[in-house]
Structure 1
Amino acid sequence: MKHWIFYSLIIVFFAACSSETATKYESTEHGLEYKYCVNSNSDTLPQTGDKLLLKVRFFNEKDTLLWDSREISSRFIMDFIQPSKPGATINDAYAMMHEGDSMSFLINARQFYSAADPQSPMIQKFREDEKLRFQVKLEKIYSQKEFEEEAKQVIKPLCEEENMLLVDYIEKQYPDAKPTKTGLYIIHTKKGNGISVNDTAEVAIHYRATYINGELIYTSYAKADPLIFKVNDPFVWPCLAEVVKTMKKGGKAVCVSPSSMAAGEYGDKKLRIPPCKSIIFEVELVVVK
């Protein structure tokens, strides 16, 4: 019953904002065309630094759906930055919305795509005066503090589950392994006889990274493209810096890393690594400088 009500509300929202409704668009003094589908009567507007929980879809003039935030995530969240000057951009659209509002906007297609990427091939696919129709629901506005507090509540059970899975994996696969002070489990599978690695060294490694369930994340062997990094580079994952310092050139090792020493408790969106994920690295040290 609850699921039926939830999906019914989504249908009502998108139907209310459809292009077929009789309500005409109004325009701000700076040319942003808009209309309300649901006016929440809230007093809360977004401020720079806030996180916006949104549902967003946009269509071309033929009413073809071009993008839907729900295909990215059921909780699509964006960082909000107040526009430096009023205009008719999607950011100006977000700026005029109150928490709980559902609105539709008409925004110049070329300007929208060029703001995201000036070299986007999509820019030339639209006429200069062609507009996209956006349907936006601003579900929640979080301050940075509120967002962090909620994230901690979401992350906590995930991290507890991670610890249980990590302990179980070690007990089954490497029962004699002992953790380092930072929580890594390092198992040397081939002893190297080349140069040792110090804090200032530059190294090249081949590696294979998987989750505990065996799912492959990445392997450098596939493209014969080793990872090159300086051991003291602060942007290198701590687990990799630590494991190579226990190796010599030519050596191989397995490094079982908790999330805190890899992508972090919150994961890595760019690498598509979820929160609280332990990672197993099979590392081969091929170059030491």
Structure 2
Amino acid sequence: MNFDTYNYSQQLKKDLEVFQRWQVLIEALSEANQTAEILDITKKILAFDVHKSEIMRVASEHWYPNTHWIAVAFSNLAKMTSLSHTQVILPKMQKVAELHFEEFPNAAFQFTKAPLAAGGYYLEEISQNLRVAYWDIVNKRFYLDTVHFMKLVQTEAIQIAGVEALTIFQKRLTAISYLLKDNEYSIDIVGLDMTDTQNLMMQQKDLSAEILDSLFVEAAKQNFVLTLLQNDKDGAVLKIGSVSLEIIQYRDQQEHAVWQYDIIDNNKRVTIYTLFQQLPFFANWYEKWFNEVGLKDKRAVFVD
């Protein structure tokens, strides 16, 4: 076969143009400081096919997968909220960046690919392998994993950091979700927003008396008093200082008993996750009866 030097040089030129377009995207992401801009560039990065190059092939320790760029984009959003410092760290011999949030010095987070045909990524705490959220840039979805987040706030790393750190972290995630919502995202962060701690719906209707009775028993063991509501509400209330956790029942149009959590906190600093962190008996009860009393969230996207 004859070697055509000119044709070879033209193909190299095309390959270099591919990598030039890639470089422009990465540089743009490094400089982006507006939510819409960050999301648009990241979406283009995810869709980019560098393997359109026919001669030049990527085989480098400095070539990173999509999960790495998702982490970089998320860190940009986190920095925009200006709540506390965010570090992007690339551990030696790894290909995906870790996110370190100042409020949790003993925890590290990373994005992994979600096993879904629709796409999307999980933000996970690495050491405990617990998901925080699901982020789908293509289909504009951001959902909190209420099950794993409940477990995360009880881990040693989060407990050591304390309630104030959890408060900052919740505000951080809420602020990011607001940025995404302003860009027409579907958002579900049930229980996380400190300004929206009421009407938190449970998974199931028509709970058995055994479930609520067991919470009365567990609370009493820890010297907490769960009492029946005395006003026009039907349910029970647990007082924790100036904060009240109300578990309320009402009837829907089909006469089913619908249950919800209402957290009454005039200072707007306590959420259901704060209570999970501070009240292990409540978290244990919640986990035991999760299929009935768990928060109604977007469970379909969280695949184990």
Higher relative contact order (CA 8 A, sep 6+): 1
- Give your verdict on TM over 0.5: no
Larger Rg: 1
- What TM-score, normalized to structure 1? 0.26
